[in-house]
Amino acid sequence: DPFKQHMDRELEEKEVEKMSTLPKISSQSKWPRLGQLTFSSTLEKHISLKAEKEVDVRQLYLHKPLESTWPKVNKQFLSSVNKPSNPSFTPLQRELFCIMNTYRDLFYPERNALTNGEEIRLAYCLHALNHVLKANAQVLSNNGRRRDQKPGTDSDDYRDQGLTRPKVLMIVPFRECALRIVHIFISLLEVNDKRRIDVSNKKRFKGEFGSDPEEKPPNLKRPEDYEAVFAGNIDDHFRIGLAILQKSMRLYAPFYSSDIIIASPLGMRTIIGAEGEKKRDFDFLSSIEILIIDQADIYLMQNWEHVLHLMKHINLLPLDPHGVDFSRVRMLNLNNWSKYYRQTLLFSGLQDPQINSVFNKHCFNYVGQVAIRNVPLSGSISQVVVQLPHVFRRLEAEDVTSVIDTRFQYFIDKVLPEYRDAIMSHTLIYIPSYFDYVRLRNYFKKEGLNFTHICEYTKKAGVCRARRFFLKGEKQFLLFTERFHFYKRYTIKGIRNLIFYELPTYSHFYSEICNMMKATDNGVDATWTCTVLYSKYDAQKLAAVVGIDRTAQMLQSKKNVHLFVTGEN
């Protein structure tokens, strides 16, 4: 059983020392559905994990009742394409679950709310629930054995728990996601209509996490991916504890009596608190065995600091004992080694240096890690339907930290002077970072430029005013933040010149913004322009926009690159 194998393995001092000092050894592999995989580990020299062609549910060591409920719950994703030999997993789920079930860390950067988001959610819910049911069954069986034991005999055989009870932490962006997860758990625990499980506080949960379909504003046309991400209750400040009992489930369990905690990064941040605050608590994170971070890319749009803050407070020794029976605590927890046993599952819609960094610097799993690393063959530039010359201007920066200042200098010295002329009116400047936006806004004010600006904090009236001024040409420049586009997706009319101050985080925003130009005029204007600033540190974002082959050429040559997209190629 993979659970027993993983939790019962006792690490030695020298192995722990090895993990904290030696670099990881990596190897590559290609799987049919996932594509290019990178395995890395300090302790295992040769990692051989093959993609199973077929998986028999009985061989997965699923705890009862999951073996019988899983095929029913997952039926909605199984098409007739699936061979009857493997009736319960989609090809993607099968390969992801094979990796999850070995307790390795996993980074999957191709999650998509429209296509595979829900089947991934089901797969990790199965894994998390399987883990909790096994852990709780082990505790119950040891309780029984201890009761039957002769008094006076003290045994070390019953070490089966952490220093605090929560075992699984699931980080999701919105209340709707938590609602879906809880529904999946309930359906995985209910064997049939006769054997329903008792769920306490269900009504309160529905009221706080559900949504009123009438609240949705009518007739607003948004892209499909926007509708999929922002479905249901999109409040991003919540946390809830779940206790999984033998025939029931308790919602809103106090954290120290919970097995699973579902929370948003902000919900975690407000309970963890900051140094010096009187009321703060993070002891309940001390013995987390599985950490699941879903839709990681959305936290880049919310506040990435909250994720980093959480990673710094997970698997630390608790400050209080919280009534734990130390004779039952596993040695790995007493040795403060729980971070080496924690499995982290990270799902994202894109590759990003900040997300990679969490996976590389905050995950210490002794079994090692698996990252899916496929390169985009064609970029989102191929989705641009407007005829437009794209000029990619390369800036040279000494190192990652100096890029921000170099980009600003390059922009005001080289790019902006070309646009100051009144001919270059209707110029939209797309700015991914809020800090860059503030810096440019202050500079434009100081220089007395004729501009208007929209960011995620702009009030509705301000947005309408700015859009109107820009469309009519009363304001020459519009400073426009990526987060505003992410949360609102308004079409900005009147763009004739586009400047991407930095490449967008989401590659499809590139084509979306370029295609706004067709909402401007009836004909195509020969004077339309699009300028993009990039440096060698933007390789991942660049590849997502122009494709991997062009990226390689662009990073080798020091010159600016001119691409003309006609909408067909």
Identity of the residue numbered 485: H
Helix axes 91-100, 117-148, angle to 10 degrees: 40
Q: Say whether pLDDT at 135 is over 50.
A: yes
Q: Say whether pLDDT at 569 is over 50.
A: no
Q: In the predicted model, what is the mean pLDDT of the chain?
A: 91
Query: Region 227-256: what's the mean pLDDT?
Result: 95
Instruction: Give the Cα-Cα-Cα angle 225, 98, 244 (nearest 5 degrees).
Output: 80
Residue 430: which H helix or E strand, with range?
strand 427-431
With beta carbons less than 8 A apart as the criterion, state whether 565 and 529 touch.
no
Q: Say whether pLDDT at 125 is over 90.
A: yes
What does the pLDDT look like over 304-342, one tens digit per residue? 999 999 999 999 999 999 999 999 999 999 999 999 999
Give percent of the chain with pLDDT exceeding 90: 76
Give the separation between CA 310 and CA 137, rounded to whole angstroms.
29
Going from the N-terminus, what domains does the chain have, and what CATH number goes with each?
2-81+88-148+167-211+227-372 (3.40.50.300), 380-566 (3.40.50.300)
Give the separation between CA 386 and CA 520, rounded to whole angstroms.
11
Closest CA to 286 of 109, 167, 459: 167
First and final C-alpha spacing in the chain:
52
Give the separation between CA 133 and CA 124, rounded to whole angstroms.
14
Query: Region 515-543: what's the mean pLDDT?
Result: 82
Give the separation between CA 502 and CA 407, rounded to whole angstroms.
8
Q: Which runs of consecutive H residues, i.e. helices, occur in 293-348?
A: 296-302, 304-313, 331-334, 338-341
pLDDT at 50 (0 to 100): 79
What does the pLDDT look like over 175-192, one tens digit per residue? 999 999 999 999 999 987
Give 260-308 as a DSSP string: EEEE-HHHHHHHH--TT-SS---GGGTT--EEEE-SHHHHHHH-HHHHH
pLDDT at 219 (0 to 100): 64
Give 4-53 as a DSSP string: HHHHH----HHHHHHHHHSPPEEEEEEETTTEEEEEEESS-SS---PPPS
Give the separation between CA 569 and CA 565, rounded to whole angstroms.
7
Give 85-121 as a DSSP string: TS-S--HHHHHHHHHHTTT-EEEE----TTTTHHHHH
Two structure tokens written together for 188 = 């995985």
Closest CA to 450 of 430, 471, 420, 495: 420
Query: Region 541-551: what's the mean pLDDT?
Result: 93
Residue with tokens 């295992």: 44
What does the pLDDT look like over 9-52, one tens digit per residue? 999 999 999 998 989 999 999 999 999 999 999 987 766 677 77
What does the pLDDT look like over 391-442, one tens digit per residue? 999 999 989 899 999 999 999 999 999 998 877 889 999 999 999 999 999 9
pLDDT at 468 (0 to 100): 96
3-class secondary structure, 200 = strand
Handedness of CA 276, 277, 278, 281 (dihedral sign): negative
pLDDT at 526 (0 to 100): 61
* Neighbouring residues of 500: CB distance < 8 A, sequence distance ≥ 6: 430, 510, 513, 530, 531, 532, 533
Two structure tokens written together for 553 = 């050429």
Per-residue buried b or exposed e for 164-175, using 16+ beta carbons within 10 Å of the residue's own CB: bbbbbbbbbbbb
Query: Residue 260 forms beta bridges with which residues?
Result: 168, 242
pLDDT at 86 (0 to 100): 61
Query: Region 269-297: what's the mean pLDDT?
Result: 95
pLDDT at 146 (0 to 100): 84
Burial group, residue 546, by CB count within 10 angstroms (0-12, 13-18, 19+): buried
Q: Say whether pLDDT at 568 is over 50.
A: no
3-class secondary structure, 408 = helix
Identity of the residue numbered 426: H
Please state whether beta strands 260-263 and 290-293 pair in parallel, antiparallel, or not at all (unpaired). unpaired
Which of 14-23, 188-197, 235-244 has the least mean pLDDT? 188-197
Closest CA to 7 of 366, 264, 526: 366
Q: Say whether pLDDT at 218 is over 80.
A: no
